[in-house]
Amino acid sequence: MTKKIKILPENLANKIAAGEVVNRPESVVKELVENAIDAGAQNVDVMIKGAGKILIQVADDGEGMNEDDAELSIQRHATSKIATIDDLEAIGTFGFRGEALASIAAVSIFELKTERRDQELGTFIKIDDNSVITKEKGSFSKGTSISVKNLFYNVPARRNFLKSNQTELKHIIETFKKISLSHPEILFKFYNDDEVVFDFPKSTIQERLKLVFADNILDATIEVKEITDYISLSGFVTKPAYLRRSKGEQYFFLNKRYVQSKIVNHAVFTAFENVLEKGDYPFFVLFMTIDQKKVDVNVHPSKLEVKFDDEKEIYSFVQAVIKKTIGSFDLVPSITFSGNPTERESLRFQNFNQTDRNDFTDRPFSPQASNQHNKPSVLSEDEVDRLFDDLNREIKSAAPDARVITPFDERQTTEIYHESGTMQHMETPFLVLLHNKYILTQIKSGLMIIDSHVAHERILYELAMQSFEANIPFAQHLLFPQKVNLDPADYQLAKELEPYLTNLGFELKFQTKNVLVIVGIPSDVKVEHEVETLLDILHEYRKNEQLNQLEKRDNLAKSYSCKAAIKAGDKLTENEMRILVDKLFATSMPYVCPHGRPIVIKIPLEEFDKRFGRT
């Protein structure tokens, strides 16, 4: 009986295996350029014809190869980069599988010219369309030059699956840009059909970013830099005004290798916490340095995927660093009127002005705001004691003789309320509480407008998240505990959330038949409204759970901040406004509320001058 299973001929096995490494012209460019970098090249030229289908040539000035190494380099599983299993666990080079050149040679007409600096003659190897290997000695440029002609000529099915020249060229250029971004210290040139398309001289990462993306890229981004002994993260993330509608604008480099990581992407997205609208993605170029033994890049032949030893730790680190970076720049947007004064006008956002890290001078009473803005995230004993102090308590301690009105006091009847200043030491006066909704205050560049409700939401949200971390509950006991009859679903939800509600400052007792007794409440919850507030929090929590599927603590913090914050229409004294704004700019993200609404905007003084004919 004849055997059905046969050993494949070597040339056929090579062609099949090549499909894992080389699936389009872009794959060839990636493998050859990475080999050039591994060889210590300082100058790399990439030449393309016919979108890589006719010719791909990569020439470098690296160390080159001697004759024996050149012959071995085109053999499968031949590499100079790893020798033992230990090497595989700490890969520091880009190519290491020993498959690239053999795979490329199996599906193309392949030429290699190489010469070492310490030798007078180099080696020329050619593999023609009949897989015949020709070897010659000659004088060549120092380094290595590889030409790949008629890619997939002997695998018609693969060639037929290639896209249009325009699409294939786009993929090649994307890969070229990614590699050049991670190595600004190397000169890269890119030729398409004999024309120079890109010429990237040796430079800094900032200069390389300008060349790869746009001259004004640094105005649209903020720099990330966090160096530790174990892991370091640097690079650039977009300012909120420049969010993209494209998922392809995220560049992550692990030990200078471009990789794709859902963990890192998600960490960056969540760090932008609600600055993102649906469909928006932050542009970023991030470089992570970590011990090679802590990651595995050997997941797939393309080496695009990566696995971390401790994914949770990586996620937390990236999220914390990006959050800290965003919060360390003044990102309050400016608005202007578009059109001419005589035409119908509409407000539009201006681009953010370039600001230095920790420059918060364009804020109300900036010295206090900037000092508080960078307070440590770990709570001090004093901060724990004041964790749930409401605005009213602070006013009493700041101005004991002043008449105190709580944020929830409704004794005022006027729509626009302004109390003459009682804190003369403050250098910037509040202008007005407009329609009991918006706080207007003078700043260096003009006028700042703050939505009081969402500002208070942001403050309460961060206090709530800190209280979960601190785990030190502080409740304000009610004189008369309130008994509440809940429906079974709300009763079960309240029971499930009891530990978190306790941390927020609620003291609850669960009785039989869905009866709950409210014994204590957070100091920010208005007395006499405790039942209504608790029910609102539970309903908001359930709504968030269905729509957004948030993490439990995040969901409860958002629900609490939304329902406990001052409402539009609540009156505020000038003292209360000062404290509210001061606490807002001490938060890590004073630009948007936990639900994504903007909190602050600026109108430049120049805009007023233009409207009043002063320019």
pLDDT confidence bin for 351, thresholds 50/70/90: very low
Collapse the DSSP code of 535 into the 3-class scheme (helix H, G, I; strand E, B; otherwise coil) and give the result: helix
- Report CA torsion sign: 239, 242, 244, 247: negative
Q: Which amino acid is at 585?
A: F
DSSP 42: S
Residues 545 and 95: their CA atoms lie apart, in Å, by 46
Which carries the bigger pLDDT value, residue 6 or residue 433? 433
In percent, how much of the chain has pLDDT > 90? 39
> Which of 342-356, 417-431, 524-538 is modeled with the greatest confidence?
524-538
Q: What's the confidence (pLDDT) of residue 425?
A: 41
Is the separation of the CB atoms in 107 and 131 below 8 Å?
Answer: no
Residue 141 scores a pLDDT above 60: yes
Mean pLDDT, residues 336-352: 53
Is the separation of the CB atoms in 486 and 498 below 8 Å?
Answer: no
Of 15-24, 485-494, 597-606, the least confident = 15-24
Q: What's the confidence (pLDDT) of residue 392?
A: 46
pLDDT digits (tens, 9 = 90+) for 365-399: 544 444 444 444 444 445 444 444 544 454 444 44
Q: Which residues contact 198 (CB under 8 A, 6 or more apart)?
A: 173, 176, 177, 180, 188, 189, 190, 211
Residues 460 and 242: their CA atoms lie apart, in Å, by 28
Q: What's the confidence (pLDDT) of residue 304?
A: 66
pLDDT digits (tens, 9 = 90+) for 47-61: 999 999 999 999 999
b/e burial code for range 168-187 (CB count within 10 A of at least 16 → b):
bbebbbebbbbbbbbbbebb
Mean residue pLDDT across the chain? 79
pLDDT confidence bin for 272, thresholds 50/70/90: confident
Residue 231 scores a pLDDT above 80: yes
> pTM of the predicted model, to two decimals?
0.68
Mean pLDDT, residues 181-205: 96
Mean pLDDT, residues 117-141: 91
Which carries the bigger pLDDT value, residue 568 or residue 204? 204
Residues 291 and 89: their CA atoms lie apart, in Å, by 10
Q: Which residues contact 320 (CB under 8 A, 6 or more apart)?
A: 271
Identify the residue whose tokens are 């040539």: 57
Residues 565 and 575: their CA atoms lie apart, in Å, by 17
Collapse the DSSP code of 209 into the 3-class scheme (helix H, G, I; strand E, B; otherwise coil) and give the result: helix
Which carries the bigger pLDDT value, residue 334 or residue 338? 334
- Count other C-beta atoms under 10 Å from residue 85's C-beta: 7
b/e burial code for range 396-405 (CB count within 10 A of at least 16 → b):
eeeeeeeebb
Is the separation of the CB atoms in 285 and 214 below 8 Å?
Answer: no
User: Sheet containing 221-227: which strands, arranged edge to edge?
Assistant: 221-227, 231-238, 284-290, 250-254, 257-259
pLDDT confidence bin for 36, thresholds 50/70/90: very high
Is the separation of the CB atoms in 281 and 269 below 8 Å?
Answer: yes
Is the separation of the CB atoms in 426 and 403 below 8 Å?
Answer: no
Which carries the bigger pLDDT value, residue 247 or residue 353? 247
pLDDT digits (tens, 9 = 90+) for 398-456: 444 434 433 334 433 333 333 433 334 445 556 688 899 999 988 888 889 999 999 99
pLDDT digits (tens, 9 = 90+) for 156-173: 888 888 899 999 999 999
**Phi, psi of 521, deg, nearest 5:** -135, 160
Residue 107 scores a pLDDT above 80: yes
- Count other C-beta atoms under 10 Å from residue 416's C-beta: 11
Q: What's the confidence (pLDDT) of residue 299?
A: 52
Is the separation of the CB atoms in 406 and 524 below 8 Å?
Answer: no
Interstrand relation of 438-443 and 446-451 (parallel, antiparallel or unpaired): antiparallel
Two tokens, residue 360 = 């918060």
Residues 190 and 173: their CA atoms lie apart, in Å, by 9
In percent, how much of the chain has pLDDT > 70? 74
Mean pLDDT, residues 253-261: 90
Strand-pair partners of 434: 438
Is the separation of the CB atoms in 336 and 603 below 8 Å?
Answer: yes
Residue 205 scores a pLDDT above 80: yes
Residues 162 and 359: their CA atoms lie apart, in Å, by 51
Q: What's the confidence (pLDDT) of residue 373?
A: 44
Q: Which amino acid is at 580?
A: L
Q: What's the confidence (pLDDT) of residue 248?
A: 67
Q: What's the confidence (pLDDT) of residue 44?
A: 97
Domain residue spans of the chain? 10-202, 213-327, 363-615
Mean pLDDT, residues 250-274: 87
| Yes or no: domain 363-615 corresponds to CATH 3.30.1540.20 | yes
Residue 345 scores a pLDDT above 70: no
Fold of 10-202: Heat Shock Protein 90 (3.30.565)
Of the candidate CATH numbers 3.10.20.740, 3.30.230.10, 2.60.120.10, 3.40.50.300, the domain formed by 213-327 belongs to 3.30.230.10
Distances (CA, A) of 323 to 226, 230, 358: 12, 20, 14
pLDDT confidence bin for 232, thresholds 50/70/90: very high
pLDDT digits (tens, 9 = 90+) for 548-573: 667 888 889 999 999 999 988 888 88
Q: What's the confidence (pLDDT) of residue 3?
A: 66
- Count other C-beta atoms under 10 Å from residue 406's C-beta: 20
Q: Which residues contact 369 (CB under 8 A, 6 or more apart)?
A: 360, 363, 581, 582, 585, 586
pLDDT confidence bin for 210, thresholds 50/70/90: very high
Which carries the bigger pLDDT value, residue 241 or residue 463? 463
DSSP 614: -
Closest by Cα among 423, 455, 558 to 500: 558
Q: What's the confidence (pLDDT) of residue 453?
A: 93
Of 400-409, 479-488, 512-521, the least confident = 400-409
